[in-house]
Each structure stands twice: as C-alpha cells, then as structure tokens.
Structure 1
C-alpha cells in the first residue's frame, strides 16, 4: 500500500508548521528572551546558553538541536529529521529577521503564563505538522531504550537540571517563574495536539448489556466492541458467576457525561470505567483532523 502523502496533507502539514514557527518566534522574541525567562527541553538549554554567554539565540537554537535531529533520523525516520531541520532553521530565520515586538510586558507572571501559552501553541502546531521544534523527546526516546527510566522521568530529570542551573546562576525567582512557563507550555502542547475532542475509552459491565449496546449504537451512533466475561464472584457467594458481555466504546470527553447518564438510566448499578486514548483512527469514529 502506498504511503505517499497527498497534496492536501502536504499543504496542511506545511501550514501547521509555518504557523508553529511564527508563534514560537513570537513567544521567544516578545516574551521569554527580553525577560531572561526559560522553558524546558532544548529550548530551555538554548535560552540558558544565550543568557549566560550572550550568543545569538537564533544560532544557539540551531546548534543545540543538531544532535537531536540526528537522533530523530534513526529513532523516528529521515523525513521527520528533514522536516525538523527545516522548521528549526525557519524558527532561527524568524528570530533574526521578523520584527516581532521586542518586549510586550515586564510583568513576570504575565511573561511566564503567556510566554508558555504561545510557546506551547507553537510547538504543538509544529508537532501536528509532523516535525519538532524541540528535540528533547527524541533524546528521551533514545535514552529510554538503554536505561530503565521512562521517557517522562528522563524529560523531568533533564528539566530539573536546567532549572537548577537557572536558579544558581540567575536566582530562584527566575527559575520558579520559568518552571511556570514550562508547565503552561506543556499543557498547551497537549491541548493543541489532542484538542477538545481527545478520545476516552469507556468500559461498561452491566446485567442490562443488551439495552446498553442498543443505546450506544442506535442512540449515540457509536461503534462498540464486546468482550465475553463473567460477573459475580462475591465474598458470600464466590462460586456463583454469570456470563456477561463487557461493552467497550470510544467517545470524546465532551460526550462522556451524556454517555454515563444514559447508562445509569438503564442500569443504576452499572460498573463504568474510563481510560484516556492518545491516538484513535478508523472504525466508527466521528470525523476529525488527520492529526
């Protein structure tokens, strides 16, 4: 089967990437750099080097990301590495030549929050375009295959080192505000990538499973998967069990409240649990963006 991207997907990816580059440039030039604030990851390392040694931030970002681009070629694929290279060069050019407002505000709280919002939005848009403006996750993926720590733990450890250096060299207040910037940016990245329609897997165990199946398919228009199981095994009657259909479906988090209400109307004792689904495609899902 051919995996050649369509013209529409190429245009969409390019628009996402360009928008991400422009927004990241705005966050850096108008909020973080003029106020000596930091982010996490490779961007944080670049900002720290710029602040300590006064090298031009545009060149530092390119040089700091080169090792991670090389890792990305092996850990992800060469297309990803090429796209990431072009995106980072584009970001550097934006920092050099686009006349962003030099310093929108000096209020530390506003800088930390809105600098993080714009930085996270830009990085998230670039990820939706199929590239990365910060290579720290590539490093974590590479390292995670060689040591026992999880990717999240590796990223956390690297960022702790960045913020400790910032605290020692530039003072605790700057480090604390920069941690807030990083947290805001990470939340925005998740929001931009997943959006309001982040999918949730819902598992339902009920003696009224037939009515629940009909409700999910006919009323909500959802696809369902059925697992065969047994219910019972209570403390006072451990040897007593009954076959049951375990119903699994996928909804957006905006639909979750309604689904729970409808299930409990059918069976107030129904057992329901949910799990976050990071990627979902195919099947009977409502149409959403490819990314």
Structure 2
C-alpha cells in the first residue's frame, strides 16, 4: 500500500516538475537548478533535447551514487529520474512565452517546488544534484533542501553566459520560490512549536496545559547555573495557533516563568496527535 502511494506521488511530482519546465521556464528562456538545469542550459546552447540529455546525465550520477544511498531510495530514484526525462521529452515545445518572465519564474518555481516536495516525501530524488544532496544528507546529515538549493545556485550561475544576467536573476527567484514550496510540502502547513518553560511551578503549569489545552506536557528536573537552585522545566509541543493561549496560561500560573519557543521540523507518535486523557 505504501509503495502504491509513493508511486502516485512520484508520477504526480515528476509530471508537475516537467510541465513547469516545458510550459513556463523554457518558453520564457529561464533555467533551473540541478541536473535538469544543466539539461535546459545545454538545450539553449546546442538545441539538444533536455529530456534525452537529462536521462543520460542522471544515469551516470545514479551509477556513482547508488552505493551510498539507501536501497529503497535508489529503487525509487531509478523510477523517478526516467519519468522526469520521459515527461520532459513528451512535452517539449508545447509551451509559449507568457511575455512576463517574472510571473513565469514565480509560478514555475511554485510548481517545481510542489513537484519536488512530492518526490522527496517518498524518499526518492530526481537523479541529479538531488542525489548528491541526498548523499550528503545521508552521510553528513546536511539539510536536504538547503543543500539542494546551494547546488542549484551553482548550476544557475554556470549558465549566466547562456541566458544572460536578467534571466539568471529571474531563475534565482524561481529557485527561491521552489525551495519554499518544497518546504511546505515536506513539512506541512501546520508547523509545530516546542515550548520550554523553566519555573518553580512547572508541574502546575503542565497540569493546566493537560486540563485546558488537550495536549500533553513533560516535566524535567533542572538546576540553575546562575542561582545554583533546583528548578523544574516543562516541555510542551503545540501547534502555532495555540501559542498565544499557552502564553496566557503560563502567565496566569507563574508570571516570572522563563519561556523559550522554537520551531520543530516534525512531530509524530506520543499523545500529540490526539487529545490527552483527562482524569
């Protein structure tokens, strides 16, 4: 069942990615990052088919990277990369210039980002610089999206003399929009917040949280490095929409509590996903 879902995501993601290039980017003389960006730049320079060039280059990179990537990721990438090349080949020449490179760049980046996010969610990659990014993520724990973004910028900079400075800057805008769209697809719209509350009344605060906010909280025993006093800490995971309510609740229990709030990338398991049980 999971494999079927992954295949649906891969097909939808690769089709959206390819259409964004052939209908929006290429007709408006915009490039892209990664291996497809190299293929598009080669297309501008020599007129070669970006689908065929992408297929050849992706095959070479996959052969280099398959040893260090997880077996499942290699299997999915072997499916993903030819699909991108196939959809690029089938839709070449279908698009026409919109006459506004900026609008084209924004929407090309949006759809490329959504397609990339769908592909990344399955654990696959697009068989180009994303394979390199995934290798660095797998071995060095580098951030997948940011690493891919930097590699994309390097590719775009290399195409400066082919598409010109103005279209290069439009392409960078497209990459930035694409990165944000990819983050939204991977992380979701409802981001979580982790709240650390250092207070002598931390147990009372967690009781209020459990009772009034239908979520759980954890209390840790702590020791202050400055005052050399024992002080408990409550650790709470909530959605961003509950922040103001939690602040008011904490203040009502202990208006001198020290509170730290930061974003968390992912939350699963435990009692966060359903209301806490009340006694």
State how 1:128-277 maps to structure 2 within 5 Å.
Answer: 128-133=121-126, 135-142=128-135, 155=148, 158-231=151-224, 233=226, 240-277=227-264
Say if 1:61 and 1:92, in contact at 8 Å, map to a contact too: yes
Displacement of 1:144: 7.7
CA distance in 1, matches of 2:146, 2:191: 24
Moved more, 200-209 or 180-189: 200-209
Displacement of 1:176: 0.5
Cα 1:228–1:39, aligned 2, differ >3 Å: closer, same or farther? same
TM-score by length of 2: 0.85
Counterpart of 1:15 (choices 8, 12, 15) is 8
Displacement of 1:202: 1.7
State how 1:31-46 maps to structure 2 within 5 Å.
Answer: 31-46=24-39
RMSD over aligned CA atoms reads 2.8
Moved more, 77-86 or 183-192: 77-86
Is 1:284 aligned with 2:277? no
CA distance in 2, matches of 1:96, 1:168: 25
State how 1:45-194 maps to structure 2 within 5 Å.
Answer: 45-97=38-90, 102-103=95-96, 105-133=98-126, 135-142=128-135, 155=148, 158-194=151-187
Specify the alignment match of 2:277 in structure 1.
none
Displacement of 1:217: 1.9
Structure 2 stretches lacking a partner, 5+ long: 275-279
CA distance in 2, matches of 1:67, 1:259: 53
Cα 1:270–1:45, aligned 2, differ >3 Å: closer, same or farther? farther
Displacement of 1:220: 1.9
Task: Specify the SS of the correspondent of 1:247.
Answer: strand
Say if 2:125 and 2:134, in contact at 8 Å, map to a contact too: no
| Structure that is richer in helix per residue | 2
Q: For 1:88-109, what per-residue CA distance to the aligned partner results, in whole angstroms no more than 9, with x for missing partners?
A: 2122222233589512623111
TM-score by length of 1: 0.82
Task: Specify the SS of the correspondent of 1:75.
Answer: coil
Q: For 1:39-95, what per-residue CA distance to the aligned partner results, in whole angstroms no more than 9, with x for missing partners?
A: 222232222222222211111222222244335533331221121121121222222
CA distance in 2, matches of 1:100, 1:23: 16
